[in-house]
Amino acid sequence: MLDTLQQTLRQALRSLRTSPAVTGMAVLSLALGIGANTAIFSLINALMLRTLPVSHPEQLLQVTMDSPQFFSNPLWERIRDRQQVFADLFAYGRWRFNLASGGEARYANGIFASGQYFDTLGVRPALGRALTSADDWRGCPGAAILSHGFWQKEYGGQTGILGKTISLDGHPIPIAGVTGAGFTGVDVGSTFDVIVPLCAEKILHGETSNLDIHAAPGNYNTLYAWLRLVGRPKAGISPDQATAQMKALAPGIFQATVPSHWRAPEQQRYLQRTLVTNPFATGLSYLREQYLDALMVLMGIVAVVLLIACANVANLLLARCVARRREFAIRMALGAGRGRLIRQLLAESLLLAGLGALLGLLFANWATSGLLAILDVPLDAAPDWRVLAFTATLALLTSVLFGLAPAWRGTPVSPYAAMKSNSRDVIEGSRFNTARALVAVQIALSLPLVVGAGLMLTTLWKLLGSETGFAKDQVLLASVDLRNGRYAPERRRGAYLQMLAKLRALPGVRAASVSNLTPACGCASTRELALEEAPGRTAPVVAVDSNLVSEGFFEALGTTLTAGRDFDAHDTPDSPSAAIINQAMAKRYFGTDSPLGRRFRIQKRNTMSDPVEIVGVVGDVRYGSMRDTVRPIVYLAWNQDPEPYPMTNFELRTGGTAPAVLTGAVKSAIAEVNPAVSIEFTTLSTRVEESLSRERLMAVLSGCFGALALLLAGIGLYGVVSYGVARRTNEIGIRMALGAEQSRILRMVLREVLATAFAGVVAGLAITLGLTRFLTGLVYGLAPNDPSTFCLAAAILITIAACAGYQPARRAARIQPQAALHEE
């Protein structure tokens, strides 16, 4: 049997060599289809399926709550001391460490981790030592473990760095070790540069440390949740048992850690939480929630592309079978049965699919690199056994998919039929009809891809042109970190005001301001307000987004002040509190009444603030995603905050100067106030573009795959029409000999082409209407079944069909009757 298989494969290889053009076209079509599928699957595999590069990742469990997913440090310490489920358990939280001691910031991706981090994961250092429980105690001096990549980049792989210090947020921390090259942490799609023990958070952040419950200025909710918990259960404890034991432990844990200064409703919600465990073999990733839906849709798109490629190859093989009818006749006359011919053709299909898969892997590797560049994330998407198995399975399935129909329809049922097929009889006409049907299928499958591409491109275009409430061009954003400047809380406001004055005096700056949050940051700060319904009588507390901004903020952003006034120099900590609200808040809580002069109080711990008066109304600004519905926002006077946060933002609108040109002048101006202060720059337009990364990915890829579908369908149609013209040369010659004009022949061929195209479009419309509902969460500004997009896509396909059929139609119209009749 093995000898027979080898002989069949050798004969198939020899046969493919005799028609290099068909073989090359088939392999290229399959490579594009299989490669596209492999590329998208590689991303899904890297993001969802690949296990962490640690010891026995399948044993790891994450401890979570029903809500939220993060733990405070007091809660973590209580769980660590009371739990009996895990042999090893650690907590970790991500942070950005500033490596610069002044000037433009240089950030390193950091992790605060408890002492059992490396022991739990079973990760060993490549140099020095790892963190242990001995490193993690209150009042510790700190120790830094560098990632292998950071060690190579920053220190050139020097082994003498142990014992030296690294500056993190302006504090020297001794370097204790370096991790191995293969370990990048437990957050998929994110890497780390430095790991320090959890106790070192107090060294770096001082009075703003998140290790304990403390009274944060202006916020009653001071139990900061920022840690994730991961552990390895003791031998014999299953995940279900782990969850059951943690649930039993939960009431006492939450009772012991509830903040006493919280109001009763918040305490009650806190005490109702419970603890559960989840598998952690594949780690965590924010990319999963952000891109999973998009990747699933793309997987469906590339599957359709592969089906179109298969139909294209099936047509090529069917035409090749017609060209080989004499060969089949001879082989059957010599005793070969139809089954033997079918096996031979399927072997050829398997070889084509194998070659397409090999070339597809190369294409997938290139495409995956391009996708990661678009995503701009450090995701390891190198092919592993899953990717290779997926590609091999795909090659096997496609070989059957595109090879079975040509093998069945292209082989004669008997030697008599084989001899008769040398004439252009009804059998050959049947094969031509099969080829036309396959082209109609290609067009039908292409329509949803073209429609999807149109929807995604329109979505991106609409989001880029959507009303954001600000003018994104010509705005430089400078994030300032005062912690290296060693400012006491009461001195920060004065330092910020000095910097703001110097920035406003810079040449080329039209307006400058300071704020806690900037637009399109994907962030929010919520406050609970009690609106006064009448003097001395307040309504129930409502939660709204908030931002602290200085005078000139709305001018710097190009946001319209629709009523009242902006903040000014008279809004100080000693003056009555003032606020400006957006139109969404004015409409929701005041309806058609003017909100100017109305007052509210802010919830602070167990008390309410003094009354705050609304002095202005501004247009709506998007702080989260460009897709988000605008929510009510209250702007509070930044100048009235006596102890602002040590990190803040400056917004500078330029007068025609490119924002990036100002970075040097901004650094110099801030250095005049304090050279130790660190700065990070971006532009508002860049911030908006970054917020649309998923939409840009979908637009680019759906556009590319839609174009590929059009190309494959066009090539398939061109081949079928050319074959049909060649098959009907005698018929056309007779028609012309009987007086048919060239224009009539041209119209006849194009009419058949357009009939096939229309049939495919009609079928494609039904398919597309059923599939576009899966795009509901991805489109913006239009419906998934948008009629204009459907009509445009159908028109494009029909135009492509007409273009593909025109050249063969012209060739048919130029057939010389004498030559055609002589051939007959």
pLDDT digits (tens, 9 = 90+) for 624-659: 778 888 899 999 999 998 888 888 999 999 988 889
pLDDT tens, residue by residue, 83-141: 999 999 999 999 999 998 878 888 999 999 999 999 999 999 999 999 999 998 888 88
Quote the mean pLDDT of the chain: 86
User: Helix crossing, 385-410 with 426-464: angle to 10°?
Assistant: 140
Confidence of residue 342 (pLDDT cuts 50, 70, 90): confident
Amino acid type, 533: E
**Pick from 108, 188, 109: which is nearest to 372 by CA?**
188
Distances (CA, A) of 388 to 37, 230, 384, 408: 12, 31, 6, 30
pLDDT higher at 16 or 217 = 16
Label the pairing between strands 577-582 and 612-618: parallel
User: Averaged over 804-823, what is the pLDDT?
Assistant: 69
What phi and psi values does residue 674 have, to the nearest 5 degrees? Answer: -160, 110
Least confident range of 248-262, 400-414, 734-748: 400-414
The single residue listed with the structure tokens 């109305």 is 598
By three-state DSSP, how is residue 804 classified? helix
pLDDT above 70 (res 426): no
pLDDT above 70 (res 619): yes
Which contiguous run of DSSP H or E holds residue 441? helix 426-464
Confidence of residue 604 (pLDDT cuts 50, 70, 90): confident
Amino acid type, 479: S
| Contacts of 204 by beta carbon, 8 Å cutoff, 6+ apart | 97, 168, 169, 171, 196
pLDDT higher at 739 or 70 = 70
pLDDT above 50 (res 802): yes
Confidence of residue 422 (pLDDT cuts 50, 70, 90): very low
Mark out the alpha helices in 663-728 (DSSP H runs): 663-673, 684-691, 693-727
| Contacts of 508 by beta carbon, 8 Å cutoff, 6+ apart | 654, 655, 656, 657, 661, 662, 665
By three-state DSSP, how is residue 252 classified? helix
Total Cβ atoms within 10 A of residue 128: 17
Confidence of residue 597 (pLDDT cuts 50, 70, 90): very high
Which contiguous run of DSSP H or E holds residue 9? helix 2-17
Is residue 596 a contact partner of residue 617, using CB atoms and an 8 Å limit? yes
pLDDT above 50 (res 530): yes
Please give the pLDDT value at position 424. 45
User: Long-range contacts made by residues 237-245, C-beta under 8 angstroms, separation at least 24?
Assistant: 237/85, 239/61, 239/277, 239/279, 241/85, 242/61, 242/85, 242/86, 242/277, 243/275, 243/276, 243/277, 245/83, 245/84, 245/85
User: Averaged over 667-689, what is the pLDDT?
Assistant: 92
Q: Does pTM surpass 0.75?
A: yes
Please give the pLDDT value at position 438. 82
**Pick from 266, 411, 447: which is nearest to 327 by CA?**
411
Please give the pLDDT value at position 349. 86
pLDDT higher at 416 or 407 = 407
Measure the CA–CA gap between 566 and 568, rounded to whole angstroms: 6
Measure the CA–CA gap between 591 and 332, rounded to whole angstroms: 87
| DSSP code of residue 224 | -
Measure the CA–CA gap between 446 and 273, rounded to whole angstroms: 50
Strand ranges for 129-200 from DSSP E: 144-146, 165-168, 171-179, 194-197
For CA atoms 183, 184, 186, 188, the dihedral sign is: negative
